[in-house]
Amino acid sequence: MDIFTITISAMPAHTTAALRSMLLLLEPALGARWQVVDKPPADVVLLPAETLARLKGVAGGPDELPLYLALGNDGERPSNAYAMLKRPITPPRLVEVLHLAEGLIEKLRAPQDDLLTVPLIESLEAEGKAQLAPATFDTRVRTTLRAATWRLLQDPIAATLIDNERRSIFSHLPGAGYHTRLTLAEFANVFRENPPAVLVELSGAERDTLRQARDFKPLRELEWTFWICSRSPWLRPELSPEKRYRLRRWPDFGRLPHYQADIRMASALMAQAMTLQQLRSRAGVPPETVMNFLNATYAVGALIEVDDVTVDARSAPKAAPPAPTGLRGLIANLRRRFGLADPKPVAKPALRQAQDAA
C-alpha cells in the first residue's frame, strides 16, 4: 500500500496542533495511507494562501512534487496550489482534497515513459479491462472501498466497485438503487475491512445488463452501511452536536447491519430527544459511535430535529376547564361537599336538536 506524507508549514502552533489532530481522526476515512511529518520533504505541503501567493514562481504547481495545499478564507486559489482549503476546515473537504492529492502523487511518482493515463472511473468493456492491468491496478487507480463509496454518495452515477481480484463488491444504478451478491454480514464486513477498490463507470450496455437484477436496494441503505461500518469521526453537515434529535421510527435492524450499541441508542432516542453528548452518556459509547449512528439514521430518514419550542408545547400541562360560576357554581360546590356526583348531561332528542339548529 502506498504511503503519502503531508507537512504543515508557516502556521500558528494551535492551528498546526488542530490540523494534526484532525488528520489523526480521519485515518479510517483515508485508509491509513497518510502520515504527518514535521518538515519537508513531503508529498503535500499545507500552508497559508497568502504565503503561497508570495512564493509564486518559486514553489511549483500541480505538475511536480511537492504539491501545495493552500489554506485561506475567501479569494482565488493560488496558481501554484493544487487545491484550496477554506476556513473553517471541515473533515469532508479535507478528505476530498487529500484523495485528489493521492491520484496526482501516484501519477507524478510513476516513470513518465511507463505512465498510463487511467482515470479513476473507467469502463468494464474490452478496452477498459485491458487498461486495468495488474501493475496499473495496484499502483495508479487503486483507492479504498470507503473512499470510492464516499465519492459515489456525493455524485450517484451508474458504476461498479471492484476489488483486488476484479470481483464486484456492489453496483449502483440511478433510479433503481444498488445491487450486491454479498450477504448482509459479508457486505458489512467488507466495509469494516476497507479493502482496495476501483470505482468503474458503467457503459450503456452494462447499465442495461444491470437493470435485469431484481434485488436492488435503496441507496439510503448503502449510506447506512457506510456510516455504521466505517466509523468516520465527524457529523454530516446537516447535523449539529448542539441540537437535540429523536427517532421518528424504529430502524429496520432486520435488514441493516448494526451493533448492540445501535439498538441501545435507538431505544434512547425513541423515548426522548437528546443531544450528541446526552446520547453518548446514556449509551456509554465513544463519540464517533454516536456520530455514525446519527449520520446513518438521518440517511434512512428516521432522525428528526426537535426544537425547544416544540418540546415545551408538548410537555406543558393542559389548562383546566373554567370553574362554573353563579348558581351552577354554588350547586356544584354543595354536591362536591356532600359527596354527590356531578349530574351527567342528558342528550337532547333528535327533534329538539333539529329545532335548535333551525
pLDDT tens by residue, 276-304:
999 999 988 888 889 999 999 999 999 99
Per the listing, cell 504565503 goes with: 51
CA 272 to chain centre: 23
3-class secondary structure, 85: strand
Instruction: Identify which of 41-45, 142-146, 335-339 has the greatest average pLDDT.
Output: 41-45
3-class secondary structure, 211: coil
Q: Which CATH number is 4-109 given? A: 3.40.50.2300
CA nearest neighbour of 213 among 146, 155, 137, 160: 160
Higher pLDDT, 34 or 128: 34
Question: For position 117, what pLDDT does the model report?
Answer: 29
pTM of the model: 0.52
How many DSSP H helices and E strands does the chain contain? Answer: 16, 12
The answer to whether the beta carbons of residues 178 and 63 sit under 8 Å apart is: no
The half-sphere exposure of 351 on its side-chain side, counting CA atoms within 13 A, is: 0
Interatomic CA distance for residues 63 and 46, integer angstroms:
16
The answer to whether the beta carbons of residues 289 and 297 sit under 8 Å apart is: no
Beta bridge pairs of residue 246? 304
Interatomic CA distance for residues 104 and 64, integer angstroms:
9
Q: Alpha carbon of 347 to those of 25, 343, 344, 351, 355: distances in Å?
A: 71, 12, 9, 11, 14
Q: Alpha carbon of 331 to those of 320, 324, 325, 335: distances in Å?
A: 20, 10, 10, 6
Pairing assessment for the beta strands 44-48 and 67-72 based on DSSP bridges: parallel
**210's grid cell:** 444491470
CA nearest neighbour of 12 among 46, 43, 42: 46
**Which fold would CATH assign to domain 236-315?**
Arc Repressor Mutant, subunit A (1.10.10)
CATH code 3.40.50.2300 region(s) in the chain: 4-109
CATH code 1.10.10.10 region(s) in the chain: 236-315
Higher pLDDT, 318 or 329: 329
Q: Which of 45-54, 133-142, 184-193 has the lowest mean pLDDT?
A: 133-142
What's the average model confidence in pLDDT over 90-111? 80
Q: Amino acid identity, residue 103?
A: G
pLDDT at 245 over 70: yes
pLDDT band at 244 (very low <50, low <70, confident <90, very high): very high
